[in-house]
């Protein structure tokens, strides 16, 4: 291993130069000849696919042309990822500069992963719909809508639902 090159400003070394050999060794050990696929995954496949999957490894079969890229995802996202398999393969091959990957294999895991804590997937932000408290007029209208229901519990539940629907702001 060659020592990292020093900059022209004293004896300081860029942080990237210090970690580059270790990143390259770890990525090559998993089959990634181009570590850019690992380090810039969101740029390679796009943010929508990077949010639901991670590259795990690339394996080369005996005597076969091309490799198999293994992606890790949660069970719920696997069907969506399966439909985008060809697009992901094309984007990874574009990062390599040639047709290095022929197949994409999808593996599923729990939301937290099994062996690697880095396998966690961040869910998309969910913003609750803006609602306002029902006014007395809206509550009266909801009660009028449910006045024909004989069962008391059902009538109260339907009145609460109607009041919530009526109090929702217009879209």
The more confident residue out of 30 and 63 is 63
Residue 143 and residue 112 in one domain: no
Token duo for residue 96: 């390599």
104, pLDDT greater than 50 = yes
Note whether residue 8 is domain-resident: no
Note whether residue 104 is domain-resident: yes
Residue 112 and residue 78 in one domain: yes
The more confident residue out of 111 and 156 is 156
| CATH code of the domain in which 69 resides | 3.30.300
pTM for the whole structure: 0.46
What percent of the chain is modeled with pLDDT above 90? 5
Domain count across the chain: 2
Residue 28 and residue 106 in one domain: yes
Residue 50 and residue 80 in one domain: yes
Residue 141 and residue 113 in one domain: no
Mean pLDDT of the chain: 75
pLDDT tens, 60-90?
777 667 788 889 888 888 898 999 999 999 9
Residue 101 and residue 30 in one domain: yes
41, pLDDT greater than 50 = yes
| Beta strands at 101-109 and 67-74: parallel, antiparallel or unpaired | parallel
Q: For residue 158, give its domain range.
A: 136-167
Residue 111 and residue 140 in one domain: no
């Amino acid at each position: 291993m060659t020592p990292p090159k020093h900059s022209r400003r004293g004896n300081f070394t860029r942080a990237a130069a210090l970690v580059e050999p270790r990143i390259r060794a770890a990525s090559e050990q998993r089959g990634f000849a181009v570590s850019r696929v690992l380090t810039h995954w969101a740029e390679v496949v796009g943010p929508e696919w990077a949010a639901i999957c991670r590259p795990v490894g690339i394996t080369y079969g005996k005597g076969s042309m091309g490799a198999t890229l293994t992606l890790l995802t949660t069970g719920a996202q696997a069907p969506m990822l399966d439909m985008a398999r060809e697009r992901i393969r094309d984007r990874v091959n574009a990062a390599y500069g040639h047709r290095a990957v022929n197949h994409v294999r999808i593996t599923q895991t729990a939301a937290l992963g099994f062996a690697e804590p880095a396998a966690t997937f961040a869910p998309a932000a969910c913003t609750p719909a803006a609602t306002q408290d029902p006014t007395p007029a809206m509550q009266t209208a909801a009660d009028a809508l449910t006045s024909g229901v004989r069962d008391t519990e059902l009538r109260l539940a339907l009145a609460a639902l109607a009041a919530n629907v009526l109090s929702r702001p217009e879209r």
